[in-house]
Structure 1
Amino acid sequence: MSTPSDTLHPAPTPAHLRERLAGAGLRATQQRLLILECLLVLPGHPTAEQVHRRAAEQAPSLSLGTVYKTLDSFVAAGLTKRVASAEGGSRRFDADCTEHHHLFCTNTQEIIDYCDPQLDKLIREFFATKGLANFQPHSFSLHITGDKLQ
């Protein structure tokens, strides 16, 4: 299991940011580059507001609306995912689009990434044998709510 740290991640290179945008079919505008960098360096699963605060340090005229629209375009292009927060709704963003699950701590409101290939195999086998009427699952992500134990 991996957990987000409270510290910023190392800044990606401009070339890496451009590659990620190009790979998602998006032009590498200055705003997109900045917003993607902020999304990647902020710990955990940041909100649009957290991304905006970070981006506004370098571009004070950048609006929160632009950050929301840009993050939505990232989601549509498969560059990031929306993650439902512990209090409900899809208010946070995850730049890690690999298959993984999320644990929600109701005490701290923390969202913790959780990877378990054995669990993934069990879920795939379950749906292969049980199936769903008129539905073929392509991917899945569990959202598990609980409390971190000290």
Structure 2
Amino acid sequence: MTFHPEHTPPTPGQLRDRLAKAGLRATRQRLTILECLLQLPGHPTAEQVHRQVLQQVPNLSLGTVYKALDSFVEAGLTRRVASAEGASRRYDADCSAHHHLICSDTQEILDFHDPQLDALLQEFFAQRNMPGFQAHTFSLHITGEKVAR
């Protein structure tokens, strides 16, 4: 069971390769947006990515950031994550199978990896034999509050 796995920031060449493998042109805007998305902690909103991008490309519009992020989602480079209040779109650069713990007080979203939970969920759905539906992947979003230990 782990929270926030550590990632080494990709090089510009690796960013270009990611975009190319996803079938996307490696434009300056996309490279900058992807780099900023990967640098920001947690699960940023498009607005947070936009603020970061403006430091490198001052005239880039928020609409361009949304379009790029949506193209990243469609290409499998990132995922959308619902926030606790459900009003804002958050983005997760970690596309591995994992779950999310959402703090209802701070709106922070934590990644949660637990192979034992994954096995329990797979077993649960296999036993239910749901007619006309077979679960392939799943991601739990669990809302709660951080408590002092």
TM-score, normalised to structure 2, is 0.93
Q: Distance in 1 between matches of 2:16 and 2:33?
A: 12
Task: State the identity as a percent.
Answer: 69
Q: Distance in 1 between matches of 2:77 and 2:4?
A: 21
Secondary structure of 1:123's counterpart equals helix
**Hey, what does 1:25 align to over in structure 2?**
23
RMSD: 1.6
Match among 47, 51, 54 for residue 52 of structure 2: 54
**Hey, what does 2:122 align to over in structure 1?**
124
Cα displacement (A) at 1:82:
0.2
* Contact persistence 1:4–1:44 (CA under 8 A): no
Alignment of 1:1-150 (within 5 A): 1-3=2-4, 11-89=9-87, 91-150=89-148
Q: Report the residue type matching 1:52 in the other structure.
A: H
Cα displacement (A) at 1:20:
1.1
* Contact persistence 2:45–2:88 (CA under 8 A): no
> Structure 2: any 5+ residue segments left out of the alignment?
none
Would you identify which runs of 4 or more consecutive aligned residues in structure 1 move more than 3 Å? none
Cα displacement (A) at 1:140:
0.4
* Contact persistence 1:47–1:92 (CA under 8 A): yes
